[in-house]
Amino acid sequence: MSSYFTDLAQQYIDGEWRSGTGSWDIIDFNPYDGEKLASITIATVDEVDEAYQAAARAQKKWAATNPYARRAVFEKALRVIEEREQEITEVIIAELGGTHLKAGFELHLAKEFLREAIQLALRPEGKIIPSPVDGKENRVYRVPVGVVGVISPFNFPFLLSLKSVAPALALGNAVVLKPHQNTPICGGSLVAKILEDAGLPAGLLNVVITDIAEIGDAFIEHPIPKVISFTGSDKVGRHVATVCAANFKRSVLELGGNSALVVLDDADIDYAVDAAVFSRYVHQGQVCMAANRVLVDRSVADEFTEKFVAKVRTLKVGDPSDPQTVIGPVINSSQADALSATVEQAIAEGATALVHGTTTDNLVEPSVLTGLPADSALLRQEVFGPVAFLVPFDGEAEAVRLVNDTPYGLSGAVHTGNIERGVNFAKQIDTGMFHVNDGTVHDEPIVPFGGEKNSGLGRLNGETMLDSFTTLKWISVQHGRSGFPF
């Protein structure tokens, strides 16, 4: 494993592994034990420019490459990941503090999305559209946008980098990738190494490991990229969208959430408990789709609460390399401190801690809170960690109002003994995704993924990748002579 953190602790620009020329280093730490994994000299504005220039040079030839030949690169990349699965698992555990369960989940989805990228290479189709002008043929071509900038987050960095990078490349674009500074290997150079070993020509994927303290808005303002695909917080996403709009770029934004899992009065309580515990505590709750809020009909609240608390108390917290661990560390100390402050704020506002987890370094034990005042800001914001708010309600109408009472609209779930009741409930929720009798955390390669309100703009996955990473071009052909009025 250590060789990954040694060999890949570099920038990857125009097919070359090289050091950045910045005046300081990003230090990559293991969030569980604080071990220094890698030291990477940051990329400067000049290197960002070099990466985009390399991408632009390589893109035209790649776009003209037979899509069957492009497809072969991703077929090989899938085999590379399968061959190195154990090593990649170890890197995810070390760099993210991800558990074995989480690493397996991320790798499974990464392979599924690569399989979809293989198919996507052959997906673009043109059209011939009728014209009111005699003898005119209207051809509409679907073409690559050119160069795509991708900014990936720290929570599922390997998956969420590949999720934009592979489709963008498969559709004939070139890419410059900026991973989160807490996960530069999983989210950046590891992706580059896999695609390099799979035969991706030099220049088509470039990785710049840097920080906005060094480059400011240079990554998103640069004139070469036509699309910026960003996954992260709504605060940063708003800024990305603003800068993109000012520079006539398209932005694809996958942002935060404040999802609710709703338990109606006819739900299977034991099953709902299992779904709710997973939806809140998977990967320490550092998931945009996580169920921040668990809303329970008052008629079943006592039974649900007792069973939910009992199950949460069984979750093993500790070393993520231990296969029995369910909750490992959060990504860094500032995140751990913020979560502790959130719990204390909730209690100060009048909430009762049914489970009051302690924090040791970056290990944040799960907390379960109830009785938070209805007007508390905590119920409307994203909490990125293992803290659950239990909220009772009286009847469906109140549940709908409570679920929608947030600036976010990403995911959610409802549990009921009546499927159509669940579907009708889901239709009333302002989200991009909602699940009946399941958890809130789902992602599938061909189903549109994205949110409403502050949870983002645009969609990823399947056919929606065509909308994100290609554009339409009209070419008309006049057969015979056209007539002109003068």
Question: Is 244 noted as a catalytic residue in this protein?
Answer: no
Q: Which of 254, 344, 365, 398 is catalytic?
A: 254
Q: Are 63 and 141 in contact (CB under 8 A)?
A: no
Which residues are registered as beta bridge partners of 174? 147
- Cα gap 140→458, rounded to integer Å: 22
Closest to 210 (Cα-Cα) out of 91, 40, 334: 40
| Token representation of residue 25 | 């280093």
- Cα gap 432→449, rounded to integer Å: 7
Closest to 344 (Cα-Cα) out of 315, 281, 387, 308: 387
- Cα gap 170→144, rounded to integer Å: 10
- Cα gap 439→284, rounded to integer Å: 15
| Rounded alpha-carbon distances, angstroms, from residue 35 to 329, 330, 360, 382 | 13, 15, 16, 29
Q: Which of 214, 288, 382, 396 is catalytic?
A: 288
Question: Is 90 noted as a catalytic residue in this protein?
Answer: no
DSSP 449: B
Closest to 293 (Cα-Cα) out of 213, 390, 223: 390
Q: Are 179 and 9 in contact (CB under 8 A)?
A: no
Give the H or E element holding residue 269: helix 269-281
Q: In this structure, what is the dihedral angle of CA atoms 183, 188, 191, 197, given to the nearest 10 degrees?
A: -130
Hey, which bits of 308-467 come out as E strands? 352-355, 359-360, 363-364, 367-370, 387-393, 408-409, 413-415, 435-436, 452-453, 456-457
Q: Are 474 and 485 in contact (CB under 8 A)?
A: no
Q: Which active-site residues does the annotation give?
A: 254, 288
